Amino acid sequence: MLDSKSGDRNALLRLLAAYLLWNAAGVLGGSFVNLYFKGAGVSVPDLVISYFFWAAAPVLVMRFLDGRKDLDMRAVLVAGILVQAAAYAFLLLFPPSTLQFYIYSFLLGMDSFLFWVPFNIMYFEMSRGREAMLGSLYFAVNPLFGIFLPLIGGAMAAAYGYGSVFLLSAATYLVIAPLALLTLGKRGFSFRMKECLAGLKGFKTLIFLEGIYGGGVGAGMGVIALFYFTSPQQLGLYLSVTTIFSVLASFAVSRLSDKSRKRKGYIAAFGSGLGITTAIMSFANTAFLWSAAVSVRNFFSSLFYPFTTAIIMDNKRESAEGVFVGREWLLNTGRFLGVALVLFFTLALGSIHLSLALLGLAIAIYPAIIGLKKRHIRVD
């Protein structure tokens, strides 16, 4: 009979297998959705507006499930996987339109809660004492796949059409669902949002700020890249090249942090670097300059984000369920505001690029806010 440590290790490996397939499917299909709809005539403002649906969906899901006593964490996660499969299948069923893009974005956004909250709870409960190292793996998987899967997806889209890419993504999610259902144990799950948010005292402003940045930069970068890269092969190459240097750096620095447990210095250095490079992106007006700026930003992003999760778990590990539910609520309300900023710059000022300067400033003050929160949280 397996001991508890061996059982925990096997559970983590099974969870990681589902996570790897999940990210592979998302990188492969998600890399080309914006280009697919832009090529079908969806306007730049509508591309940005679609991110509102992405940010609003998990908030509505959490609102619906708030206070429910009969939730099974495994069932919620599997529901998220099936919703993701349905989102890509939906792209295959109808000709592209703005309404279809909004519905797809809403379905995609639902998984910010349905998949990510159960996954995060299970993953970080199994990572005690190795938060930044396993957090690094958590954040490095997506860029690692981003080195080669966009190249494959771009070649497939060029040769066989976008539908082939979306079909493969949907099929991969359908493989993940029984894997998760059969290998993960049943576990009860319930939450009350008011209590979840109260449990994040000291972190609410930080998480909300992180959401503003993430939502705004996601929308801005996702749309601006289409100005310079107009074919699936070009976009695939761009996405691959701009992720190369971030993976190794993330592993190296997070291992060092796990040994020293000194988070504050890394957050200050990498948060400042992320903010500065994001602001610099607003001045990149050619394909080469944009690619170079995005590469450096992605480098700092991969270094910075593992620590934002690690400092929460350092302080709130004993209440992981409530932490990740409340965190998701705050992230997505922040994302909504970040997308609104990008849309304002696009419509009112006529320059989506300039939104990146303000978003860079927002994340650059993250380390300073930690200093203001020292009465409520501990960050060494």
Q: What is the pTM of this model?
A: 0.91
Residue 253 lies in a domain: yes
Residue 115 lies in a domain: yes
State how far the Cα of 226 lies from the Cα of 380, in Å rounded to an integer. 41
State how far the Cα of 274 lies from the Cα of 124, in Å rounded to an integer. 25
Residue 150 lies in a domain: yes
**Exposure of 141 in the CB half-sphere (CA atoms within 13 A):** 16
End-to-end CA distance of the chain: 40
The token pair at 64 is: 């619906």
Residue 122 lies in a domain: yes
Tell me which residue of 243, 188, 172 sits closest to 22, measured CA to CA: 172
3-state per-residue secondary structure call for 153-196: HHHHHHHHCHHHHHHHHHHHHHHHHHHHHHHCCCCEECCCHHHH
Per residue in 291-339, pLDDT (tens digit) is 999 999 999 988 888 888 878 877 876 677 888 999 999 999 999 999 9
Question: What CATH number does the domain containing 177 carry?
Answer: 1.20.1250.20
Range of the domain at 180: 4-372
Residue pair 38/96 in contact by the 8 Å Cβ criterion: no
What are the angstrom distances between the C-alpha of 39 and each of 96, 217, 227, 346, 379?
Answer: 9, 22, 12, 19, 47
Residue 71, pLDDT score: 87
Residue 280 lies in a domain: yes
Tell me which residue of 141, 113, 136 sits closest to 310, measured CA to CA: 136
CA 194 to the chain's CA centroid:
24
Residue spans of alpha helices (H) in the chain: 4-30, 33-39, 44-65, 73-93, 98-114, 116-125, 131-160, 162-183, 193-198, 204-228, 232-241, 246-260, 263-281, 287-316, 320-347, 355-364, 366-372
Share of the chain above pLDDT 90, in %: 64
Q: Walk along the chain (380 residues) in steps of 10 and give the mean pLDDT of each run.
A: 48 83 94 96 97 96 91 91 96 95 97 91 72 65 90 96 96 91 81 92 93 97 97 96 79 60 82 95 95 93 84 75 92 97 95 96 92 77
Residue 1, pLDDT score: 31
Residue 211, pLDDT score: 96
Q: How many structural domains compose the chain?
A: 1
Residue 334 lies in a domain: yes
Residue 377 lies in a domain: no
Per residue in 190-229, pLDDT (tens digit) is 899 999 999 898 899 999 999 999 999 999 999 999 999 9
Residue 378 lies in a domain: no
Mapping DSSP to helix (H, G, I), strand (E, B) and coil, where does residue 107 land? helix
Residue 129, pLDDT score: 59
Angle (deg, nearest 10), helices 131-160 and 162-183:
140
